[in-house]
Structure 1
Amino acid sequence: MPSPCAYFVTGTDTEIGKTLVSSALLHALAQTGMRAVGMKPVAAGAQWHDGKWRNDDVESLAAAANMALPQELTTPYLLREAAAPHIAAQLENVSINLNHIRRCYDRLADEADAIVVEGVGGFCVPLSAETDTADLARLLGLPVIMVVGLRLGCINHALLTAQAIAARGLQLAGWVANLVDAEMAYADENVAAIGARLPAPLLGVVPRLELPSAAAAAGNLDFSCLPGWPGERTNSI
């Protein structure tokens, strides 16, 4: 069975639009006719509603996908406390096991044509005393898409994150600028400065959306240059 078209989405910080961009990517993949599923291996911050624990990011990814697979596979670690994952896991006496996440990913790969894996927080957020999100990205070995939250300090955050990705031997396949601070001065100049210093294409700039949605965000992005994109390249990831 061929490997799925798959990407790992990370960000320069938390709350900078990873889920919105991941959902947009899923929407675009579904538009090509591929069976696309989102994976949020670790999600912290869940609320009990309609008989189950729910997380907004997890539900956004599920809504953007065009196939439904068990949440035990798409989010093997759904933690209740809205805190750093290693803290939330400790509070619930949960041990986050990267090999278990890999096994869940492999089962998704058996069913889906495309998988979008969204990290948690920034690229190096701890998952346990011994591991972090960068270790997870390295274990999966997928091309990385970096979401840069446009606000003061974003140039430094973007370049440091890109260096961390390269240090793990991973490919930065593309990056997205997401305007999180509507009042940011010189946003275009910041985007240009980042683009001039990154060895990866800018996939687009997501403006402040009145009604954020996967389709609306996807309308501002072009994923066709990504490695393995449907119809662009025949090699699998």
Structure 2
Amino acid sequence: MTFFVTGTDTDCGKTLISSALLTAAKGETVGFKPVASGCTETEAGLRNSDALALMAASTIKLPYEDINPFAFLPAIAPHIAAEQTGVQLAPNRIAAMMKMSEFVGADFCLIEGAGGWRLPLGDGHYLSEVVQMMQLPVILVVGMKLGCLNHALLTVEAIKADGLNIAGWVANQVDPDMAHPEENLATLKTAITAPFLGFVPHLSEATAEQVASHLDLSVLG
């Protein structure tokens, strides 16, 4: 089964949660990061830390370029970086590259987005269009901090308005000093009808293995 992982915002913990889900899943696993900005120049080419983390958590080992086909050096919005380098981020191009996820023999496959649900690709297109083209079920990562209720509920509305299914969601406490996290979580549990995969408390130097212990994949819809 292939899922698309999105979040309520940048830095909500999509990669950490994705790595944990890959770690917790049984069988052959693989994670993709089709679009990534903020890469590092290496002798082998541009490398993104999120994509490398997904590769480390995957049991199926593929070439880096297959995992992250669109990599950009500056840590800016990908569509701006793409325009600066003359790269076209057309939804059909990305979808065609991600179609390979159907042929790698994975029991559990994740395609991690960048930023939030409505990540611009340029020319009036968004990364969410790729998810629509592929008709992927979505896993939502809610970054637990002040303002997360509005971000989470608007994201849920947008995903449903696009005709897609939210297979599950995770609450990830990104702000260690967030006021009343339990009450905020209770509000989200009432408002979001999709399966709840777990609450991840703020962990210093969190690892995929640590986070995986807080997740329950058995309820994944």
Coarse TM-score class (shorter-chain normalised)? over 0.9
Corresponding residue for 1:212? 206
Q: Measure the CA separation in 1 of the matches of 2:105 and 2:38.
A: 27
1:133 aligns with 2:118: no
What's the TM-score once normalised by structure 1's chain length?
A: 0.89
Equivalence map 1:14-163=2 (5 Å): 14-29=10-25, 32=26, 34-113=27-106, 114-163=108-157
**1:171 has 2:165 as partner:** yes
Please say if residues 43 and 78 of structure 1, whose CA atoms lie closer than 8 Å, have aligned partners that are also in contact. Answer: yes
Report the secondary structure of 1:224's partner residue.
helix
Could you tell me which residue of structure 2 aligns to residue 6 of structure 1?
A: 2
Q: Which amino acid aligns with 2:21?
A: L
Question: What root-mean-square deviation, in Å, do the aligned CA atoms of Structure 1 and Structure 2 show?
Answer: 1.2
- Listed as ranges, the gaps of 5+ residues in structure 1 are 228-237
8 Å CA contact 1:195, 1:201 repeated in 2 = no
Runs ≥4 residues deviating over 3 A: none
Q: Any gaps of 5 or more consecutive residues in structure 2?
A: none
Query: Residue 188 of structure 2: which of 186, 194, 203 is its match?
Result: 194
1:76, CA displacement in angstroms?
A: 1.5
Q: 1:61: Cα distance to partner?
A: 0.4
Residues in 2 aligned to 1:133 and 1:97: alpha-carbon distance in whole angstroms:
9
Q: Percent identity?
A: 44
**CA-CA distance at 1:96 after TM superposition:** 0.9
Question: What is the aligned length?
Answer: 220
Deviation of 1:117 (Å): 0.5
